[in-house]
Structure 1
Amino acid sequence: MNPVIRAQLREFAKAHSIEIYSLEKQFEIYSVFSVLSGLLGENIDPYDVHLEGDEFGVDGIAILIQGESVINRQEAKEKLESINNPIIEFIFFQAKTSTSYDYGDISKFFDAITGFFDESLIGESDTVDDLIGAMHEIYERGVGKRNPKISCFYVATGNYEEPSRIEKLRTAFRGQLEEQNIFDTNSIVIEMVGARDLQRWYRAATTAVEVEIDFPRNVVMPSNEHVEEAYIGYIDAKNLLALYVVKDTDDDTVKINKSVFFDNIRDYDAKSKINISIKESVQSGGGAEFVFRNNGITVVSKNIDRTGDRFKLEDFQIVNGCQTSNIIFDLVYGNEAGDPKENQELTGSIQVPLRLIGSKDDEFVSSIIVGANRQNPVRDEQFWALRPFMKNFEEYCRSLDAEEIIYFERRDNQYRNQDIERTRIMQPSVLMKAVAACLLFQPQRAARDYRGILSEYDKVIFLDDQDVRIYHAVAYLYYRLEFLWRNQRIDNGYKTFRYYILAGIGLKLSEGENTLTMKKGKLTTLATSFISLCKDEDRLKSAVTSVVGVVQERLLEMSVSSQERIRDTIRSETFAVQFKQNLMSKQK
């Protein structure tokens, strides 16, 4: 294996707690991560995308609805009900540690993708069957104004030299996908990935972004206790493009670096009437009026190093201006993405309003993001992340001893370039589900979309006067369970009952009492009991087995055996109520 890839793989396996896996399995998950995070800019756990069995021809499948991963029909249904006209993407992965690109393996990969959509892949595994169920839900109700995108990545550790036989195979497969008329034909990607790609994408996914721009027409903004330095003014298109356009050194093509956009780049619609009108106005008038008609762009950077009018930015995000950035990219490089020829006339004539803010205060940065995006679709949990409780919770979890530490990610990619164990990072949506299961004893609702939890328990959880320690205990329990699964110390099949395990442990330790109304002393004792259980691996594994036993016993009584029926059954209120009764009766 390429020595650089091997070094990156070693680092990745340690950070993601998968060192127990074989080299081939580690490489598969590493490849998924490099593509998803480094190339596509998606903040999705590669472990959840990877297929753990020996499925025919494919190592990973991601189904994204507006950038959020779904793994079964129910999740797809809930996401589609909450989002109007979403962007939908199917992404397939096959990874080989070999340096060669084998015709037979590539052919199997293409056959597996075809089999996913024509259902001949059914029966390969429960996971694949669930994903096919999600696909059906999408085509039954989710395809509105646009067909889904599809991307296929075949990964090896050599250099792809475009052999004619494989190129003919790839061209034929593209034709098959186009003929099905179920995908956006302008967004079909079939990529042969090599060592150079993996190295570059992995670095992009794990290091802070750095750029230098000229910003001569700037004025220093008023001082603020949360801001190191800030400037406002306007900038020409050439320097603006330097913030988010990257050039491929191998073939000189250009593309947008999605990872620097907080408000996701997928929200841009090149065919919308407004965007077409803006582009036509610029093309007819030369761009001189753009600065007067556009609200501009806001950039927040952790570090700003200024030398005259030259600004070096490190670890920055474009938090507002997604539409503007895309329009300028289209105008300068044309509608054919990847064409490296730059419209020199427009890059000099287009001026764009710019706010550049340097701040290391995550809470202040979050408030800027939300404030700048009031008219745009910002996810609900990002507003929750601004609550004082959330700030206190983040600080508490980060201040603990190494064994108990949890990194609460109030802002997307907050810990992107930090050398920490990735399984200890917890997102707000995950915390909400874990709390709903473990403290509210609602495993059937925790398995659903987090937006329902937000609306139903708004006045119950994450309140300013609540004790952060019990919430940390739940987060730590979630982490410990995930660690045991990844290291194959508890049965992977138990993942289906993840939220029932959390609820069962919560019910046992609290003896069924409402945890959020407990007196502080009793709540502190309960939090300590959670932590003590988590640190005793044998006791924790025994607790998991006991809870799963109660669930499986009830499913057996109901004669429920198929994976799809199990998922539907455990989401019902009736099943959850009976589970609690059975568990508590065994407790006595």
Structure 2
Amino acid sequence: MSTEKDKTNTLIINDIMNSFRNKFHADLAEGESENSVFEKLVAYLITCKHAYDYDFNFQNISTGQSRSNSGHEMSIDSAAVIVNGMVISDMDDLGNVVVNSGGRINLSYVFTQAKNKGHFSDITAEYGKFITGVNSVLRAKSTDSFYTNGLNKFIEMKNTLESGSVHTEKGQKSITVDGEVKVYPYFVISGSEKSKECNLRGAIKHIANNNANLADIGNYKINGPLIVGHETLRKIYDDVFIGADAKFNMRNLFPFERDNIQRHGIYAIYTGYLPFKEYKKIIQEDDGSIKANIFSENVRGYLDKTHINKSIKESLSLGADDSGSDDGIGRDLFFAMNNGVTIITKHLQAGLGTGSLMQIKGYQIVNGCQTSNILHEYYSEYSDRLKDIQSQLPENYSNLGPELINKQFSDDMVNGLVDNPQEMKKRLIMLSHAMRVLRRLNHQFVSQSGLSIPRKIVSST
């Protein structure tokens, strides 16, 4: 039974629900229940968060649950297969995407379970069923008459992709999945996240056990699972329907004057360079993940392991050895290996704060998807490496810059605090190298410029 608190929390996202109904009225049944609309809203938004493609029919990712087949959907509302940023609707669509993939793909699975309720206090059983359902579907080696048609379609596509061979109109095509298959399970309620920690305090162990069972499958990189409320949903909605928001230092961007540009709807042009430490504010979320939805208007998605992209990535490390020295070769080649970044945005404010801050809202990177993804991958790779090395060292080394590491090591040696000097020295060299690579990358320049028009800002080089 819903409470007044439930109703109050539901009202907070009513504008999202109404906007979703208006946009997808043709795909929703007349008089469809609030709960059903909320489930489809969550399925669409969460899937969009992990895809470049927004133009998919959310019915194609629905598990097809109904009163007549209750339980056969395994407590999963939606199950999406995403290949190279594209949401795959069926086996024919899969064949078409694979034909254009070059034989290498990025593969992700996104699962959702949505509950239109105001608090997290009684979700333990529902969450357990959801994670168990995801576990069962990922382990499924074949379709099963017990499952809904939607789940069987997902299982068929999953198993085909993981087999390494896909039937296309041109015959069988071999494919290779780059890295691990990423899995994103989301349990979402319409209530606020403010009380989540308190509400779930007594269920922490139960939730942890479910998550551990999911992680035990192997062969997948499980992200989360995430339990979220309307705050996260609202942010994703804003990114999808309104657009991303970023603030960065614009001191290397300059107005590019042109006469009569306003008659074309262009209000301002900016051109110049951004160091990556500023550019990453445009392409990365606060948690360090890439903003996939800012590339949805790109001419092409990320192509990953092409020879050109490999060359771009190699140029970032060329000229830097394990000692952290840098002869500048990589920086020069980086410019030669890509043609800059083109950004469009709905709103731009320049000269904020001290005069060097720029804010863009509702933006898209329409050229530079490859460069952006490679920079993100390279930065994330060394960030993860740095964290891993730091976890193996005494805490007093964590906040030291590369210049102070050797001094701290010498002091610890004098004071008899080092048990295995050779191993310690080896780790410190790795630590210093990772720090220097990240420092150098943060100062790597990315070519960028911008044009402002009524609804968008277009940037080009």
Instruction: Give the structure-2-normalised TM-score.
Output: 0.65
Further displaced range: 64-73 or 282-291: 282-291
Q: Distance in 2 between matches of 1:260 and 1:338?
A: 27
- Aligned equivalents of 1:304, 1:7: Cα separation in 2: 25
Aligned to 2:23: 15
Work out the CA distance in 2 between the residues paired with 1:36 and 1:133: 19
Q: 1:4 aligns with which of 8, 12, 18?
A: 12
Q: Are residues 219 and 14 of structure 1, via their aligned partners in 2, closer, same or farther at CA, if it must alter by over 3 Å?
A: closer
Match runs of 1:422-501 below 5 Å:
none
Change (3 A) 1:254 1:88: closer
Alignment partner, residue 46 of structure 2? 35
Segment of structure 1 superposing worse, 85-94 or 23-32: 85-94
8 Å CA contact retained: 1:269, 1:275:
no
Change (3 A) 1:119 1:108: farther
Cα 1:105–1:283, aligned 2, differ >3 Å: closer, same or farther?
Answer: farther
Match of 1:214 among 227, 239, 249: 249
Deviations, residues 373-415 of structure 1 (Å, cap 9, x unaligned): xxxxxxxxxxxxxxxxxxxxxxxxxxxxxxxxxxxxxxxxxxx
Aligned to 2:57: 45
- TM-score, normalised on structure 1? 0.52
Say which SS state the counterpart of residue 90 (structure 1) adopts: strand
Could you say what secondary structure the match of 2:285 adopts? strand
Quick one: which amino acid aligns to residue 48 of structure 2? S
Question: Equivalent residue for 1:90?
Answer: 109
- 1:193 and 2:217 equivalent? no
Task: Pick closer, same or farther for the CA change 1:336–1:40 going to 2, 3 Å.
Answer: farther
**Conserved? CA contact 2:115–2:189, under 8 Å:** yes
- 1:111-510 to 2 correspondence within 5 Å? 111-116=132-137, 117-119=140-142, 121-140=144-163, 141-142=165-166, 143-146=175-178, 148-158=181-191, 159=193, 160-161=196-197, 163-176=204-217, 178=218, 181=219, 183=220, 185=221, 188-217=223-252, 218=254, 220=256, 222-223=258-259, 226=264, 227-247=266-286, 253-261=287-295, 262-263=297-298, 266-268=302-304, 273-281=310-318, 283-284=320-321, 290=331, 293-294=334-335, 295-307=339-351, 310-330=357-377, 332=379, 334-336=381-383, 345-346=439-440, 349-360=443-454
CA distance in 2, matches of 1:207, 1:266: 23
Shift of 1:316: 2.2
Distance 1:348 1:114 in 2: 39
Q: Which residue of 2 aligns with 1:24?
A: 35
Give the conservation status (yes or no) of the 8 Å contact 1:210–1:312: yes
Instruction: Check conservation: 1:41, 1:257, Cα contact below 8 A.
Output: no
**Structure with greater proportional strand content:** 2
- Measure, in 2, the Cα distance between the counterparts of 1:329 and 1:15: 33
1:326/1:233 Cα in 2 relative to 1: closer, same or farther (>3 Å)?
Answer: same
CA distance in 1, matches of 2:306, 2:386: 16
One-letter identity of the residue aligned with 2:317 = E
Q: Secondary structure at the match of 2:145?
A: coil
2:89 to 62, 65, 71: 71
Report how far residue 192 of structure 1 moved.
2.2
Name the CA shift for 1:303/1:197 in 2 (closer, same or farther; >3 Å).
closer
Unpaired runs of 5+ residues, structure 1, are: 248-252, 373-588
Q: Is the 8 A contact 1:233 1:353 kept in 2?
A: yes
Contact 1:213 1:310 in 2 (8 A): yes
Cα distance between partner residues in 1 of 2:228 and 2:249: 34
- Once superposed, what is the RMSD of the aligned Cα atoms? 3.7
Relative distance call for 1:133 and 1:334 in structure 2 (3 A) is closer
Change (3 A) 1:192 1:275: farther
CA offset digits 1:467-519 (Å, max 9, x no partner)? xxxxxxxxxxxxxxxxxxxxxxxxxxxxxxxxxxxxxxxxxxxxxxxxxxxxx
**Could you say which residue in structure 2 is the equivalent of 1:489?**
none
Give how far 1:195 is off: 3.1
Contact 1:71/1:134 (<8 A) preserved: no
The aligned amino acid for 1:215 is M
- Could you say which residue in structure 2 is the equivalent of 1:502? none
Given that 2:312 and 2:334 are in contact with CA atoms closer than 8 Å, whether structure 1 keeps it comes out as: no
Structure with bigger RCO (C-alpha 8 Å, 6+ apart): 2
Say which structure is richer in helix.
1
Q: What SS is found at the alignment partner of 2:13?
A: helix
Instruction: State the secondary structure of the residue aligned to 1:62.
Output: strand
CA distance in 1, matches of 2:181, 2:379: 27
1:23: Cα distance to partner?
1.8
Counterpart code for 2:446:
V
**CA–CA separation in structure 2 for the residues paired with 1:287 and 1:219:** 32
1:120 to 1:170, Cα distance in 2 relative to 1, 3 A:
farther
Cα 1:269–1:77, aligned 2, differ >3 Å: closer, same or farther?
closer
TM-aligned CA deviation for residue 97 of structure 1: 2.2
CA distance in 2, matches of 1:254, 1:269: 21
